[in-house]
Chains A and B, each alone.
Chain A
Amino acid sequence: MPPADTFDMRRDRRPWLRRLADASEPYLYSAPSLILIIGVMLVPLVVGVSYAFRDIQLLNPFSGGFVGLEHFRELSRDTAFYGALRNTLWWTGASVFLQFIFGLILALLLDKPFWGRGLVQALVFLPWAVPSFLAGLNWAWLFNPVIGPLPHWFFGLGLISEPGNLLSDPQYAMWGPIIANVWWGIPFFAITLLAALQAIPRDLYEAASIDGANWFQRFLSITLPFLAPTIAITILLRTVWISNFADLIVVMTGGGPADRTQIVASYIFTQAFRALDFGYASAIALVLLVLLLAYSMLIILLRQTLLNKD
């Protein structure tokens, strides 16, 4: 075909090509991100769901067959799983509650300008920057009676009968990771709530003061109602995130002593990493996913009713 001819044909097509180029432009921009997300997250998610119904053991070359609901039947008899479920509730509830209370107080303390506020903010938000594995190790060392001061201080205060390691005491071991998590997570709540606090119009407070309202009355009738939507969303989302957050527990106790600190997320990791039973691990993960989805639906319903009320 002569070159001139091709040139003509190309010119004829140009408006169409141009339209195609324009329409595909946003897709081209999104393509790298989408390919990564689909390849590394969505496909493994689907594969993981399929594993839950198959017998997948890493070291056993004969595994891989379809086992139907066998893993779930096994799961319903697994007392370690029920223990992990209870621990997850305890771990998530205590962590979120304490992070929120201390975060709210910190946000209120930082709300009004004072000399040195910038520096104070940088210092109190610093734990947020500490890598989670290091936060876990750091607190594990603080609880260690050989090297850390905490057991001796607790002993001095009469809280414990001998300076032993909190993390190896089955009854109180869960408090170790919870305290570490509170230390690590206060900045998140403080930052989010501080941003919401600063958005409250200041003249409302002045008007209330003139009307003779004291600090607590102003807090109840102005601050809390304004913060309520932020508080609700942050707490609910944070709950999902913390119930999946296994790093601190894996580092500090590995789920021990006697599974007393094992949460569902760390149990999944233990099954996959130590037992190499990918099928069973995926079945537990699927149950966790369903529970969290049910919880998220609750968030959305709650939010809808809150929005409709206004």
Chain B
Amino acid sequence: MKRSVLPTIAHRLAILCYIAFALFPLFWLLKVSVTPNDLLYSEGVRLWPTRTTFEHYAFVLRHSAFPTFFKNSLIVSASTAIAVTICASLSGYALSRFSFRAKYWIVALMLLTQMFPLVMLVAPIFKILSPLGLTNSLTGLIVVYTAFNVPFATFLMQSFFDGIPKDLEEAAMIDGATKFTAFRQIILPLTLPGIAATLGFVFTAAWSELLFALMLINGNDAATFPVGLLTFVSKFSVDFGQMMAAGILALIPAALFFLLIQRYLVQGLTAGAVKG
């Protein structure tokens, strides 16, 4: 009996260490965001302040540009997620159900886009978008993010379509439906979990993107959350409570989508092992 207890304790202890390491930074973010300013320095290394306050959240929501950043990020991420999911369902379906001459080249092109450094595209995309009036605009960001996420999402959707038996749409086509009707009315409803997962993955990716947002957007009106938070940090680097309150707010949508897609993580990461 004693021999099996010791490894179990070691196992639980190791798990606890991992949980502590994973959660500690986020816990600290939360802790500073609820610490009143007068206690910030005197209780700097305490694990929890003696008094808590929500004044930083109230300030960030009422008196800063963060609601605008939040709205911009929400528009960009949601539009990107929807656009990518539509494009990727169509192309994922094509790769899953048809064998056609260009298939090999399409797959190769999509793999190629996952291999080269995206930083390389910063300068050319800026030069191409600026005469079109798409710099400093949310539409420009949506177009760019949609293109960046389509290859990964296509592979993801393809793996979900591959899991659905072909007999289903063949039966529908014998009953006189066209392939597109069969796709829309039979296959798509069956892949709803896959669609949810794709929406979640893409939303999170667009929500986190920093470099292109920094390059393509200047000024507060079209700034997304990462850009807004970063400019806020470099301008007012003393308001730690407010910055961390804003950080917690930025975390909420991403964490919500994480809970939504957590079940599909393994499948998603295997399909997109190239990207990560």
Contact = CB atoms under 8 A, between A and B. Distances in A.
Given A30-B106, A129-B254, A48 B123 contact: yes
The interface size bin for chain A is: 35 or more
A125 interface: yes
Contacts of A124: 15, 18-19, 22
Contacts of B255: 126, 129
A137 interface: yes
Interface hub of A47, A124, A134, A293 (most chain B Cβ within 10 A) = A134
Contacts of B94: 26-27, 29-30
Contacts of A237: 273-274, 276
Contacts of B119: 244, 246, 265, 268-269, 272, 285, 288
Given A129-B204, A134-B251, A272 B122 contact: yes
Given A32-B91, A47-B124, A251 B273 contact: no
A244 B211 CA distance: 12
Contact of B91 (A33, A123, A268, A289): A33
A200 interface: no
Contacts of A273: 122, 214-215
Contact of B106 (A34, A36, A142, A195): A34
Interface string B110-148: 100101111111111111100000000000000110111
B120 A282 contact: yes
B139 to A, nearest CB: 13
Residue of A36, A121, A192 contacting most chain B CB atoms (<10 Å) = A36
Instruction: Please report whether the interface of chain B is mostly helix, strand, loop or mixed according to DSSP.
Output: helix
Given A37-B147, A133-B208, A147-B44, A45 B120 contact: yes
B121 A44 contact: yes
Given A126-B22, A126-B23, A32 B86 contact: yes
A25 B98 contact: yes
Given A34-B106, A131-B208, A44 B128 contact: yes
A292 B106 contact: no
Interface string B66-100: 00000000000000000000111011011100101
B15 A120 contact: yes
Contacts of A44: 121, 124-125, 128
Contacts of B28: 138, 141-142, 148-149
A247 B205 CA distance: 13
B258 interface: yes
Contacts of A192: 269-270, 273
9 contacts: A32-B87, A41-B113, A125-B265, A133-B230, A134-B251, A146-B240, A265-B117, A269-B211, A285-B120
Interface of A: 23, 25-27, 29-30, 32-34, 36-45, 47-48, 51, 56, 58, 105-106, 109, 114, 120-135, 137-139, 141-142, 146-149, 152-153, 183, 186-188, 191-192, 194-195, 233-234, 237-238, 240-241, 244, 246-247, 250-251, 265, 268-269, 272-273, 278, 281-282, 285-286, 288-289, 292-293, 296
